[in-house]
Amino acid sequence: MSEQELDAYWMPFTHQRYFKQHHERRLLAQAEGAYYITEEGERLFDALSGLWCCGLGHRHPRIVEAVKRQLDTLDYSTAFQMGYRPQFTLAQRIVEAAPAGMGQVFFCNSGSEAVDTALKIALAYHRLNGQGQRTRLIGREKGYHGVGFGGISVGGMVANRKMYPSAMLTGVDHLPHTHHLGQMAFSRGEPDWGAHLADELERLVALHDASTIAAVIVEPMQGSAGVVVPPKGYLKRLREICSKHGILLIFDEVICGFGRMGQPFAAQHFEVTPDLITFAKAVNNGTVPMGGVVVREDIHAAFMQGPEHMVEFFHGYTYSGHPLAVAAAHATLDVVRDEHIYARVNELSPVLETAIHSLKGEPNVIDIRNCQLAAAVELAPIEGKPGLRAIKVFEEALRRGVMFRFTGDIIAMGPPFISTPEELKRMVEILGESIRAAG
């Protein structure tokens, strides 16, 4: 590309100057199945399913056909005051897949929008119940909940927050993060240590008083922080404390939902039912932007008061329930059902666990983590240059035909659900080779 073309695009979450000087093998031209194809014609195994989105692989023929067919009938349906039948049937399918007690779905277009929607629902719910003093929100250190002002307020990633202190929500506090290298390094699945960290919520309750707290929001498994796995019993303890004090518990399942945990939602994998669940990404295999919130039936019922001709919840988006996104989601759920995807994830997860932990002892590897079909390898940073080692490993892997995800000095992977055991083993072999080559 010309220098002018490269310069015109301000890329999201990307080191602009470095990328534009080193963009070989990093311009994608096509995709098929579990692979991307670069402009140079090289195949890259997609080790993160896009951005945790494309679990069914790229361009799945049934999803492609559904979107094409949708364009022949309805391209856009106004989101306000009018409906489109497939929106309602999709919501019903999602409710049926969710934990018992969930009743309604509010559609939006991304995980960031889903989080802001969930926070607004939580605040409004308490006000409608005569507890308008419940305005405080509790997030978690190292948490990632998108890039809306609500999401970065409850989120706990410093780089996402430090430029915007004056614009973030007030009355927000944070639980401590659950990752401790000294106690957890090289755990397989859920670490044995750390359930007691949930009791920090009791400390925040004592500090602020439960009557001021509206909701706690956490990712069941933290993907963006580098596959941080909840300690055994941690999420159940959070649920107990929230229930005890009348605090809503929100699970941010933008990464976990629709397959990654071998269940429709991580709530079912960890056997903990929250009050609201946010989703996006894999709900329609990343084909068309879509997100949403699943809520408990009684939460929705609290809004259904006042004159019937009045709007009950003043919130929504122009593209909520977009027909193309809905068509892709219906096709995705069909494929998940017909190809027994949840069972396949559960079969592949131990393959990934065994393979990834074989890297223990490789140069500069200080931790390995895994949770179902997600894993991460944490590397010792280069002195004075944090993040550079992971970039070097990422680039070495590209040369060998695998595209990983890096965050800080962590290499993360969430391979497609359609991967073969051989592909997962080769993916890990290439990661080992790349770690050694990067030095």
Task: Assess contact for 336 and 258: CB atoms under 8 A.
Answer: yes
Report yes or no on 61 lying in a domain. no
Residue 94: pLDDT band (50, 70, 90) is very high
- The whole-angstrom separation of Cα 359 and Cα 379 is 11
Mean of pLDDT values over 186-201: 97
Nearest CA to 279 among 106, 431, 424, 422?
A: 106
Based on the fold, state whether residues 296 and 196 are members of the same structural domain: yes
pLDDT for res 2: 86
What is the per-residue pLDDT across 161-172, written as a single tens digit (0 to 9) for each?
A: 999 999 999 999
Percent of the chain scored above 70 by pLDDT? 100
| pLDDT beyond 90 at 271 | yes
Whether residue 85 sits in one domain with residue 19: no
pLDDT of 124 strictly over 90: yes
Same domain for 279 and 364?
no
For residues 22 and 163, membership in a common domain is answered with: no
SS (H, E, C) the chain: CCHHHHHHCCCCCCCHHHHHHCCCCCCEEEEEECEEEECCCCEEEECCHHHHCCCCCECCHHHHHHHHHHHCCCCCCCCCCCCCHHHHHHHHHHHHHCCCCEEEEEEECCHHHHHHHHHHHHHHHHHHCCCCCCCEEEEECCCCCCCCHHHHHHCCCHHHHCCCHHHCCCCEEEECCCCCHHHHCCCCCCCCCCHHHHHHHHHHHHHHCHHHEEEEEECCCECCCCCECCCCCHHHHHHHHHHHHCCEEEEECCCCCCCCCCCCCHHHHCCCCCCEEEECHHHHCCCCCCEEEEEEHHHHHHHCCCCCCCCCCCCCCCCCCCHHHHHHHHHHHHHHHHCCHHHHHHHHHHHHHHHHHCCCCCCCEEEEEECCCCEEEEECCECCECCHHHHHHHHHHHHCCEECEEECCEEEECCCCCCCHHHHHHHHHHHHHHHHHHC
13 and 104, same domain (yes or no): no
Task: Give pLDDT, residue 25.
Answer: 84
The model's pLDDT over 212-249, given as tens digits with 9 standing for 90+, comes to 999 999 999 999 999 999 999 999 999 999 999 999 99
Residue at a domain's end among 314, 338, 362: 338
- With bands split at pLDDT 50, 70 and 90, how would you rate the model's confidence at 332? very high
Encode pLDDT of 287-301 as tens digits. Answer: 999 999 999 999 999
Asked whether residue 73 is domain-assigned, the answer is: yes
Assess if residue 373 is contained within a domain. Answer: yes
Do residues 273 and 382 both lie within one domain?
Answer: no
Boundary-marking domain end, from 338, 355, 374: 338
Same domain, 327 and 198: yes
Q: What was the pLDDT predicted at 392? A: 96
| 294, 315, 338 - which closes a domain | 338
Cα–Cα dist 284/286, whole Å = 5
Instruction: Give me the number of domains the chain comprises.
Output: 2
Average pLDDT, the chain: 97
Asked whether residue 365 is domain-assigned, the answer is yes
CATH assignment at residue 76: 3.40.640.10
Q: What is the pLDDT of residue 304?
A: 97
User: Does residue 388 sit within a domain?
Assistant: yes
Separation CA 262–CA 243 (nearest Å) = 26
Structural domain that includes position 149 = 66-338
Reported pTM:
0.97
Question: What is the model's pLDDT at position 86?
Answer: 98
Residues 262 and 381 in one domain: no
Token digits of residue 294: 């699943």
Residues 87 and 151 in one domain: yes
For residue 383, the domain's CATH number is: 3.90.1150.10
Asked if residue 427 is part of any domain, the answer here is: yes
Q: What is the pLDDT of residue 13?
A: 93
Residues 268 and 326 in one domain: yes
Q: Are residues 212 and 347 in the same domain?
A: no
- Same domain flag for 332 and 345: no
At residue 23 the predicted structure's pLDDT band, cuts being 50, 70 and 90, is: confident
| Residue 185 domain-assigned (yes or no) | yes
